[in-house]
Homo-oligomer: A and B are copies of this chain.
Amino acid sequence: MRKITYREALREALREEMRRDPSVFLLGEDIGRYWGGAFKVTDGLAEEFGDERVRDTPISENAIIGVAVGAAITGMRPVAEIMFGDLAALAMDQIANQAAKIRYMFGGQAKAPLVVRTPFGAGVNIASHHSQSLEAWFMHVPGLHVAVPSTPYDAKGLLKAAIRGNNPVVFCEHKLLYPVEGEVPEGEYTIPFGVADVKREGEDVTVVATLYMVHKALKAAEKMADEGISVEVVDPRTLAPLDKKTIIGSVKKTGRLVVVSEDCKTAGVTAEIAAIAAEEAIDYLDAPIKRVAEPDTPIPFSPPLEQYVIPDEKAIIKAIKEVL
């Protein structure tokens, strides 16, 4: 099958959906013809669809999302880009109080089919304000859906589903994934939210991982296979809704659980997944649950410091060995 990058897969999803549905449009800082998005995801789209539908905005994160909300509740399907996930902090009111709640508060009268695309993740030495992983903030907000694609295939299928869906979606990308290549069919497909993907089957231990960590988990699994240990890698693909069934099913099968996520450990993604297992599968667990995550620090700039805080293969392997 054809291989394209995660970046191209996202762009293809945007392009196909914009061609299909005139109510889809994009807005964000520097997404248009002059820059094509800080990570070039929207490159070339302004040329095809024009500046009206690929709209450069002022640096006004909260209003960008507010404008998307207003457009969404009046019949459009905006896809807003927040240039770095850290900057979503500026838009938390519009994301969490408005987009997420507008349907509920108004008793179901409104729907807000908007997508907020934003890149998370560390690894390129751009320090504390451009490297965080804040998925857990959004998971905690009812009314939002949260996507965390780890491959080009998932990126395209989930983004198309996000755009077609009728709920607000925070679509979390990862900076290090943009250049990653993978197989993506030419034809039309979407991936439903709430369906995990078992990225590797195994018998001895379940590793749940998201985004870039899926790749590290797969590498760890490969190394463990050399040692005769069979690791199952489950990628939830969306954190809200979360496919508990697949996760719990895997845990029941293996009896051991390691949860891996790049965000800070405390009250992060790994906490929720560990808690679910502790509630629903404790009798099947033969070992403590292990969480592999960022220690609770901001992301430092200097390469040796940054590498130290990002969870790596070694940390995953260590955790796996601890639960065996």
Query: Which residues from chain A sit less than 8 Å from chain B, CB to CB?
Result: 62, 86-87, 89-90, 92-93, 96-97, 100-101, 104-105, 127-129, 134, 136-137, 139-143, 240, 242, 263-264, 266-272, 274-275, 277-280, 282-283, 285, 287-291, 296-298, 300
- For this chain, the copies found in one complex come to 2
Let me know if B267 and A271 touch, CB within 8 A: yes
A318 to chain B, nearest CB (A): 14
A9 to chain B, nearest CB (A): 27
Task: Show 14 residue pairs from A and B whose CB-CB distance is below 8 angstroms, ordered by the A residue.
Answer: A86-B97, A89-B92, A89-B93, A90-B92, A104-B128, A104-B297, A139-B266, A266-B272, A267-B269, A271-B271, A271-B272, A274-B275, A275-B289, A278-B282
Let me know if A140 and B267 touch, CB within 8 A: yes
With a cutoff of 8 Å between Cβ atoms, the chain B residues found around residue A141 in the complex are 264
A139→B297 CA distance, assembly (Å): 12
Let me know if B266 and A240 touch, CB within 8 A: yes
Let me know if B283 and A272 touch, CB within 8 A: no
Let me know if B279 and A291 touch, CB within 8 A: yes
A109→B242 CA distance, assembly (Å): 42
Let me know if B90 and A298 touch, CB within 8 A: no
A316 to chain B, nearest CB (A): 15
Decide: A288 near B298, CB < 8 A? Known: A86-B97, A140-B136.
no
A273 to chain B, nearest CB (A): 8
A281 to chain B, nearest CB (A): 8
Q: Nearest 10 pairs between A and B by C-beta?
A: A278-B278, A274-B275, A142-B296, A139-B267, A89-B92, A89-B93, A140-B267, A271-B275, A271-B271, A278-B289
